Amino acid sequence: MDTVDGCFTARKLSAERLPGISLRRHYRALKRLPAGTGPEPYCLADGWLFTRWLEGEVLPDLAPLTEVTSLLYYLHRQPCFGWRISLIPLLEYYWQVSSPQRRTLGWLRELKRLKRLKEPCPLRLAPLHMDVHAGNLVRQGEKLGLIDWEYAGDGDIALELAAVQAANAIDSETLLRLYAGQASLSLEALRRQVARWQPWIALLMASWYECRWQQTGEQNFITLADDAWRALRATKHQERVLWAQ
């Protein structure tokens, strides 16, 4: 919305209370970011979050991987936000609110299996965005910024990279090679850690699509969910190969 003080966006507190996600945390994350990395928070009042419009062009396609990797590494070098991302509460929530007709024994088994395994110990703890894709990237001249920080929190850098791989049609090996080079990490260690997170991200995406279908009834979410279940089966095969090595 345009005002005499500039252009703002307004986000209302959702009636859907996702575990670990709130406007207050969203506001706090934006307050901690360096200028230009995300929208500047203006105020949080009466269940509304107001932020200044992040100037630039929202990208219809993903930026070159060299730029995306540099943006991620820059974000990951910032001070932590102060709260950890936990996937189990989200996975349990999506299971509970999904359509009973879509809940399968395989889904329940995978959820229980991951709960037994527990989340991988972080390779490197850092502030994460957790929703990096073309529609959330903003071109600002030679810089990139990010919008939609509601899922942000502290977590493993490999979790973020696994999420970027899953959400975008990219050369995953190039992403890891570029990131490992900038972060002075062993490429093999990073590759193995990302592989540990892939079943978690695959189940998270499938569960989210199932939840969205139950909420909206839009058929495209069923298609996306079915694709995500196939991706999950592929990651489980890769996981077996990883542990056999």
* 236 pLDDT higher than 80: no
Q: Hey, is 107 helix, strand or coil?
A: helix
d(CA 244, CA 175): 25
- Separation of alpha carbons 209 and 20, rounded Å: 19
Domains of the chain by residue range: 57-243
| Chain segment 139-177, per-residue pLDDT in tens | 998 899 999 999 999 999 999 999 999 999 999 999 999
Separation in Å, CA 235 to CA 64, 110, 121, 229: 25, 12, 19, 10
Question: Can you give the pLDDT at residue 197?
Answer: 96
Query: In the CATH scheme, what is the homologous superfamily, with its name and number, of domain 57-243?
Result: Aminoglycoside phosphotransferase (APH), C-terminal lobe (3.90.1200.10)
- What's the chain's average pLDDT? 91
Rounded average pLDDT over 178-201: 97
pLDDT of res. 196: 95
Residue 2 pLDDT > 60: no
Give this prediction's pTM: 0.91
Residue 13's pLDDT is what? 67
**pLDDT tens digits, one per residue of 25-56:** 999 999 999 998 999 988 888 788 888 878 88
Q: Per-residue pLDDT averaged across 218-237, rounded? A: 87
Q: Which pLDDT value is given to residue 240?
A: 62
**2-6, 55-59, 77-81: which is most confident:** 77-81
Residue 136 per-residue DSSP state: G
Give residue 3's pLDDT.
Answer: 57
